[in-house]
Structure formats: C-alpha cells, structure tokens
Amino acid sequence: MTQSWKISRRTWLHGVGAAVSLPLLDVMEGEAASLSRSGPDSARRVAYLYIPNGVAAGAWQPEELGQQSKLERLNRWMKPLDPFKDELTVFRNLWTPRGNGHVAGTATWLTGGGFDGQRLTAGGASVDQIAAKFFKGKTLLPSLELSVRGEGIFARSLPRNTLSWADTSTPVPRDIEPRVVFDRMFRGGESGLGDRSVVDLVMEHSRSLKRRVSLADQSRIDEYLESVRAIERRLDFADAQQQRAAKTPGLLEALKRPEVGIPEDHETYLQLMMDMVVLAFWSDATRVCTFMMDHGQSNRYFNFIDGVKGTWHALSHWKDISGRTEDDDGMTSWSSRDEKRDMYNRVTRWHTEQVGYLLGKLKNIEEPQGNLLDSSMIVYGSSLSDGHEHSARNLPLLLAGGGSCEVNQGRLRGTTRDTSMSELHLSILQRLGLPLEQFAETDRPMDLL
C-alpha cells in the first residue's frame, strides 16, 4: 500500500446483488481526521432507547455518589451498567412539561411538543428526524426506526407505538423484524443466488481491498465481516427453528410460534435488534437510530424472569395487588406491595441488562479515533417516572457514551428544579453538528460539560 492511496469513507464492498458498507479504516484517515471534528462531517452518532411504564420510585437513584456527584455505585436494579458508570450520566428532575402518560408521553418523548389525539399531532418533528434530515446524503440511510413487536390490547395504538415524527403529524414507520433491518443495510435488491451469505457475495472485492491496506485495516475488515456473518447465522438459526416448529404440531403449539423473522425467545429478539444498531453505526449505514424496547403501554408478560408474574403494565401499578383492577389480567394477584414492586424492579433490571449488552458491543469495537461507544450518544429511559403515579417529573433517563462528543460523563446531573428534556435534545443536536439555537420550547441547551 502506498501512502498516497486513499479511499472514500463511503466506499462499499460490492458483489452480485449485495453491498456492504465498511467501518472506519486507517486508509480513510484523510477523511477520518475531518470526521473526528465537530461540524457537518462529524462521525458522531445518536440512539434513543425507549422503555414504557416507568420505574418504581428510587429504582433509578444511584446507591453511592462521590464528590461533585460522581457515580461511585449504581443500585441493584441498575447494576448491569456498573462496568460503564464512568461513561454514564444519570439525570434527575428531567421532565416533559407538555406530554405525559402512556399516549402523550410516548408520542412526544422526542418532540418536546404537546399531543393532540383528535388531530393526531405531536407538536413538531422529533429530535431524531431533525438529525436524520441533517445527515441525509452522508450515509446510506438517514435513520433507523426500530421496535419490538408489541403485545397486548394497545399493540396497534399509533401514538403508543410512535417515537419518530417526520413533522408534527407524520409518524415514521418502525421496523420490527431483524432480517428486514439487515437487508435494508446490506442487501442491494434480488441477487437470484438464494441464501448465500452477504459476506460471500462481497468476498472477492474484500480480498482485493485487503491487498492494498495495512495489517491493522485487514484485521478490522475481517472482524467486521465476521460480525455480519455471525448475525446471518443467528437469523438462519431462527428460521430453522420456526420451520422445525411448523413440522411438529405439538412443538408448534407449545412455542406459540411468532411471525416469520422474529425469534421466539424475547431476549434473543431484543439483542438481535441491538446488534442491528451496532452494525448500523459500525458500518456508517446511519448515524441516527431509535429503538422502542416495547410500546408505550406494554402488556408483555415477563414470567420468564425468575420471581416475576403478571404483565409489565400491571406490575407498574405496584400499589394495586388484588389483581382485579382494569390494569390486571384477571388471573394474577400479589401478596403484598413489596412483592409486586420487587417484580416491577426485576423487569427494570432485565432491560438494564439489555442496554449493558449494547454498550459492551459498542465499546469493544475499536476505531482509529477510539471505540464506537465514544462516538455514540446513547439515550435510554422512559416517558414516565413511577409507573403507578403516571408522573412526568424526574423521568428515568441516562446518557451513555459520547466521550468524543464533548460529554463529561460519570456523574449524576440535575438540579432541584424541573428541567425540560428539550434542553437535552438541543444539546445533543448541537453536538452532532447541527447549527440550531432552539428545540421545541427551549433555546437553552443543557450544559453537559
């Protein structure tokens, strides 16, 4: 490889009917240098991870703080994020002053607006779509909007299933099947070659490229392509399991086989969607992503968690233990408030574990200017605080990563006054390079330094 030879950051590996975007390489360093700076060409990313139903009072409060509110120890329900505590900001007293509840709170979590259910308006474009419009043309996809498939009577409610709004009244569709997301990023139309791996289709181009790059870049290409192949293997395995279930009536009935393309195991499903986020950022297929880890009033059963019974929404109303309220399934009851709150907290911890899975994957991917977590701002939280109270104040929210995005991490941040979440949105937009001075109702970006 000669020192003068460079390739574009937007170079793709091509094969018959397939295309794979590349991770950041040293051979791109002429462009990588500009990408590491703030501004329009910054390779900074943002993902918003949403959970419904809030968390029990105190379940988001760190257990121990040091000087200047440094995070020393997270509580037992947040403990899966302990390895990342120096890369976290936990917020207190953030709220959404113009949107609250399972409907309005979900629909306006990223808009900072008010929700009008009769006219179906969310008060403005969501923060992710404002960022996506800014990055349009710089990446394959302006943004990804992901969600798990909903369960329960509200699974088809539009406002409970919408975070992203192109404008005040236009919701952006979500993808719920991992294969669909994968194909959007890596398959360029019908190849006519059956189920051949995307990696196999582009292998000849990758060999040619590897002959001209450094050993470090060769290793990065191999590692990246292997991660693509690993996800393909997981998708193929899920398909094989569904086919096996379809041929075995008893097994089919026991597994309650979901629609094609969605793994039966919820943790596998959710982590596979997390893998899509990682691949999207790693390949620079997009720099903006939202992921609804469930819809805004989820009635999903988490009985697969030890010691948990009942639906998530029912558990969030932890002060009602009779099992006979309108929020209950009519079959499940609890012996005490403490028992029910503990189950509610166990569901909180399970979701925290999934976020830890994502952060670990991002942190383990090295780029020339650091790791992928450093260049990614991951916002995680809910549009409710304590689920029983339906409160919009002191929302459970945290910001992970962003070390190269001018975010001073490792602390509890917030004052005794209520602070609009719009201030956080505006600050993130500015760190992505957008020349904005106002978002929703605020012109004051949050100071993350």
pLDDT 10s digits, 14-29:
676 666 777 777 777 5
8 A C-beta contact, residue 78 and residue 368? no
pLDDT at 290: 98
Domain locations in the chain as residue ranges: 55-176+266-449, 188-261
The Cα–Cα gap between 147 and 140 comes to 20
Q: Is the pLDDT of residue 41 over 60?
A: no
CATH number of 55-176+266-449: 3.10.450, 2.60.40, 3.40.50, 3.40.720? 3.40.720
CA 124 to chain centre: 21
8 A C-beta contact, residue 92 and residue 414? yes
The Cα–Cα gap between 337 and 319 comes to 5
Q: Is the pLDDT of residue 37 over 50?
A: no
Q: Is the pLDDT of residue 201 over 90?
A: no
8 A C-beta contact, residue 125 and residue 436? no
| Amino acid of residue 364 | N
Q: Is the pLDDT of residue 255 over 50?
A: no
Residue 310 CA neighbour count, 13 Å, CB half = 32
From the list 55, 98, 60, 85, the residue with the least C-alpha distance to 425 is 98
In this prediction the pTM is 0.84
Per residue in 70-116, pLDDT (tens digit) is: 999 999 999 999 999 999 999 999 998 887 888 889 999 999 999 88
Label residue 194 by pLDDT band (50, 70, 90).
low
Q: Is the pLDDT of residue 9 over 80?
A: no
Most confident of 27-31, 227-231, 370-374, 419-423: 419-423
Average pLDDT over residues 341-362: 98
Q: Is the pLDDT of residue 35 over 50?
A: no
SS3 content of the chain, % helix, strand, coil (to 5): 35, 15, 45
Average pLDDT, the chain: 85
Element (H or E) spanning 352, and its range? helix 337-363
Q: Is the pLDDT of residue 334 over 80?
A: yes
Label residue 251 by pLDDT band (50, 70, 90).
very low
pLDDT at 242: 59
The Cα–Cα gap between 335 and 178 comes to 39
From the list 281, 364, 276, 351, the residue with the least C-alpha distance to 315 is 351
Sequence-separated (6 or more) residues with CB below 8 Å from residue 40: 134, 433
pLDDT at 246: 62
Q: Please provide the DSSP assignment of 82-122 as one string.
A: GGGGGGEEEE-SEE-TT--IIIIIHHHTTT-S--BTTTTB-
Q: Is the pLDDT of residue 258 over 70?
A: no
Give the rounded percent of residues in the chain with a pLDDT score beyond 70: 84
pLDDT at 191: 45
Residue carrying structure tokens 């574990």: 353
pLDDT at 34: 41
Label residue 438 by pLDDT band (50, 70, 90).
very high
Q: Is the pLDDT of residue 312 over 60?
A: yes
Per residue in 56-72, pLDDT (tens digit) is: 999 999 999 999 999 99
Per residue in 128-170, pLDDT (tens digit) is: 999 999 998 888 789 999 999 988 778 888 899 999 999 999 9
8 A C-beta contact, residue 127 and residue 71? no
Give the rounded percent of residues in the chain with a pLDDT score beyond 90: 57
Q: Enter the tokens of residue 290.
A: 């939202």
CA 264 to chain centre: 20
More confident of the two residues 189 and 396: 396
Average pLDDT over residues 200-216: 78
Q: Is the pLDDT of residue 178 over 80?
A: yes
Average pLDDT over residues 193-203: 66
